[in-house]
């Protein structure tokens, strides 16, 4: 692409960034793009980085479609304006800010703090990197009206993000999400942003909040005496160069685990993630070094957290003594089953308890809840919707736990986002529980499958980068929406759920009923043989995601591998039928 072929309005947007409102380094970089890299200039300015319902996430660099000082600044000014609209009677609005190990995270956090301080807000800024769940905790602990964490979770190293929380400690939900977006859109020029900090409004926080948070985490333990008995259970932990290193080892030690082995090469926070291709605990390659170490020392359990330590990957030993990775649904099922068992054993189930899962998470969680007589709720993808349910029933019902297939889980409600620190402790505790029953976590999982059925799920993510990719994803969704398949792998599609149109369509009798959830660009197809296929564009990455879920009976543990392979073959057949 040549500069002459780029739309003039895009060129005009770029030229504005050559003005005096922008610093010299930014102006120099924009000029270089105009002179030498017109393709990159186009991608950097063809649109504005959207402040979505959760905040910002994008590639770092100059331009309106990038994460930088100015896009972060405009988002923060819009948020500050909204906070003053919502809390006019408060003598001073309070906001907590945390950041992860990514490149520029600390810088963006400091920019955010300066702008909020200039807008007469009291800012509590973590002095060093900290996990996202601690930010959620800090909001309530410090009596804040909002919170911000600078992170792009498990995205590639080129990305960063800006995630906004409300006074309940959960991410923004309706109507605050759309209202904040409106205020951010009103910031149309950089001179509307108050960059001149008022240092007296900024306080650094650290160990005091850590200690308060860890004290609450420790209270969750059901079996401290059994952990003490099994304190030498061997755990390998990797932080994947992220924030988990600040709290996960401490939390495990607080629980009583004494035999913790760090993957030292990945214990150093580093936004370039030098030892891994992607800092995503969903991916086998990310846990390779941890598993190698676990095999070397004959460990019992492997735990890995993503850069902002809200998600956890787990590896356990199978009957052959080989480490196998659990997927997010398997970990969630083990956790929920363990929590339910302990609540029942301790006589804490009184009929007002509940769990929450997302619509793409395994139906096995719902079956487990039914067995224990515990209510369950389905919500849209995104942990903010789990937090919304917790807020709705606060004081009336008791939240036991919840999770989503993308490796995020929460136990108790003093945090209002997925929490890998708590999850690591609870997974390790569940391993101790299984050991006391004379089995492993692997055998406990098989016992669950034997009782409820082998639920097998798989995820396919297709990446489509740039504007053309975004257009292609949009067209794929439109095609599935307007021309839904009549059969999938030779099984009739009997129900179509369209969450964008909020319609539940019975394909057998052509009746339509409403879906009582917020609008979301998600489609689900349910087939006659019990399969569930969910399609949704990612809200944070240039991807379209396909979730596959099927169920098969498992009579004996010996048949697990054979049954699982049949499930895999069925999912491959479904992919072929959908031309994926």
Section 4-32 average pLDDT:
94
Cα R_g (the chain), whole angstroms: 24
Res. 37 pLDDT band, cuts 50 70 90: very high
Q: Which domains does the chain have, with CATH numbers?
A: 1-46 (no CATH), 50-205 (3.40.120.10), 223-437 (3.40.120.10), 455-577 (3.30.310)
Return the pLDDT at 312: 98
For the record, the structure tokens of 409 come out as 């889980």
DSSP β-ladder status, 503-506 and 491-498? antiparallel
Q: Is 153 a catalytic residue?
A: yes
At residue 54, the pLDDT reads: 81
The per-residue pLDDT for range 115-168, each reduced to its tens digit, is 999 999 999 999 999 999 999 999 999 999 999 999 999 889 999 999 999 999
Query: Alpha-carbon distance 225 to 231, whole Å?
Result: 10
pLDDT score of 468: 85
Where would I find the H helices in 420-559?
420-436, 441-452, 466-482
Of 231, 311, 251, the residue nearest 279 (C-alpha):
311
Average pLDDT, the chain: 96
Q: What is the pLDDT of residue 540?
A: 65
pLDDT band for position 530 (cuts 50, 70, 90)? confident
Q: What pLDDT, in 10s, does the model give residues 532-552?
A: 999 999 876 789 999 999 999
Rounded average pLDDT over 379-397: 96
pLDDT at position 1 over 80: no
285 by Cβ neighbours in 10 Å (0-12 / 13-18 / 19+) ranks as exposed
Q: What residues form DSSP beta bridges with 513?
A: 504
pLDDT of residue 154: 87
Contact yes or no for 184/176 (Cβ under 8 A): no
Residue 98 has φ and ψ, to the nearest 5°, of: -130, 165
Quick check: 53 pLDDT over 90?
A: no
Residue 96: pLDDT over 70: yes
The whole-model pTM stands at 0.93
Query: What integer is the mean pLDDT of 342-357?
Result: 97
Mean pLDDT of 21-42: 95
| pLDDT band for position 554 (cuts 50, 70, 90) | very high
Q: What is the mean pLDDT of residues 5-23?
A: 93
* Distance of alpha carbon 517 from alpha carbon 44, whole angstroms: 35
Closest CA to 201 of 95, 52, 63, 319: 95
Rounded mean pLDDT, 387-395: 97
Task: Report residue 525's pLDDT band, with 50, 70 and 90 as the boundaries.
Answer: very high
Among 74, 306, 309, 346, CA closest to 194: 74
Average pLDDT of the segment spanning 161-188: 96
Buried b (16+ CB within 10 A) or exposed e, 485-509: beebbebebbebbbbeeeebbebee
Give me the percent of the chain exceeding a pLDDT of 70.
100
- Backbone φ and ψ for 425, nearest 5 degrees, come out as -65, -45
Closest CA to 161 of 144, 146, 178, 149: 149
List Cβ neighbours of 69 (8 Å cut-off, separation of 6 or more).
23, 26, 107, 108, 111
Give pLDDT, residue 328.
96
* Tens digits of residue pLDDT in 259-277: 999 999 999 999 999 999 9
Catalytic residue among 117, 136, 153, 423: 153
What's the confidence (pLDDT) of residue 326? Answer: 97
């Amino acid at each position: 692409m040549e500069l002459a072929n780029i739309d003039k309005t895009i060129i005009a947007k770029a030229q504005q960034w050559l003005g005096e409102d922008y610093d010299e380094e930014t102006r120099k970089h924009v000029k270089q793009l105009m002179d030498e890299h017109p393709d990159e200039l186009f991608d950097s300015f063809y649109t504005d980085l959207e402040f979505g319902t959760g905040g910002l996430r994008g590639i770092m660099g100059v331009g309106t479609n990038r994460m930088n000082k100015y896009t972060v600044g405009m988002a923060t000014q819009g948020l500050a304006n909204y906070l003053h609209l919502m809390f006019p009677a408060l003598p001073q609005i309070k906001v907590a800010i945390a950041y992860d190990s990514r490149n520029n995270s600390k810088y963006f956090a400091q920019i955010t703090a300066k702008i909020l301080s200039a807008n007469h807000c009291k800012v509590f800024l973590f002095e060093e990197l900290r996990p996202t769940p601690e930010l959620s905790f800090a909001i309530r602990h410090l009596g804040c009206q909002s919170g911000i964490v600078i992170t792009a979770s498990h995205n590639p190293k080129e990305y960063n993000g800006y995630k906004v929380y409300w006074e309940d400690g959960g991410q923004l939900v309706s109507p605050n999400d759309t209202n904040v977006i409106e205020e951010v859109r009103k910031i149309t020029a950089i001179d509307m942003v108050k960059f001149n900090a008022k240092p007296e409004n900024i306080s650094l926080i650290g160990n005091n909040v850590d200690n308060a948070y860890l004290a609450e985490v420790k209270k969750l333990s059901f079996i401290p005496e059994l952990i003490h008995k099994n304190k030498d259970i061997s755990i390998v932990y990797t932080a994947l160069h992220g924030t988990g290193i600040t709290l996960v080892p401490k939390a495990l030690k607080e629980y009583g685990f004494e035999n913790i082995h760090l993957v030292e090469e990945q214990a150093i926070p580093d936004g370039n993630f030098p030892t891994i291709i992607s800092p995503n605990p969903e991916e086998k390659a990310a846990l390779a070094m941890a598993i190698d170490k676990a095999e070397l020392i004959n460990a019992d359990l492997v735990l890995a957290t993503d850069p902002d330590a809200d998600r956890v990957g787990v590896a356990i030993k199978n009957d052959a003594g080989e480490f196998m990775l659990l997927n997010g649904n398997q970990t969630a099922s083990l956790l929920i089953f363990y929590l339910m068992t302990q609540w029942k054993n301790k006589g804490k189930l009184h009929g007002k308890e509940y769990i929450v899962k997302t619509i793409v998470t395994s139906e096995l969680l719902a079956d487990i809840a039914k067995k224990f007589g515990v209510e369950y709720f389905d919500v849209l993808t995104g942990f903010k919707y789990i937090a919304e349910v917790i807020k709705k029933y606060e004081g009336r019902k008791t939240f036991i736990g919840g999770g989503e297939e993308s490796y995020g889980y929460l136990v108790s409600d003093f945090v209002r986002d997925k929490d890998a620190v708590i999850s690591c402790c609870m997974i390790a505790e569940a391993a101790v529980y299984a050991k006391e029953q004379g089995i492993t976590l692997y055998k406990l999982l098989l016992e669950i499958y034997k009782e409820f059925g082998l639920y097998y799920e798989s995820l396919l993510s297709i990446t489509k980068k740039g504007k053309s990719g975004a257009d292609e994803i949009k067209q794929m969704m439109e095609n599935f929406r307007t021309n839904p398949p009549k059969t999938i792998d030779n099984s009739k599609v009997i129900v179509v759920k369209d969450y964008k149109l909020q319609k539940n369509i019975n394909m057998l009798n052509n009746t339509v009923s409403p879906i009582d959830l917020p609008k979301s660009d998600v489609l689900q197809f349910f087939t006659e043989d019990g399969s569930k296929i969910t399609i949704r564009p990612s809200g944070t990455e240039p991807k379209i995601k396909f979730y596959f879920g099927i169920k098969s009976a498992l009579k004996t543990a010996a048949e697990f591998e054979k049954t699982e392979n049949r499930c895999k073959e069925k999912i491959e057949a479904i992919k072929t039928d959908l031309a994926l």
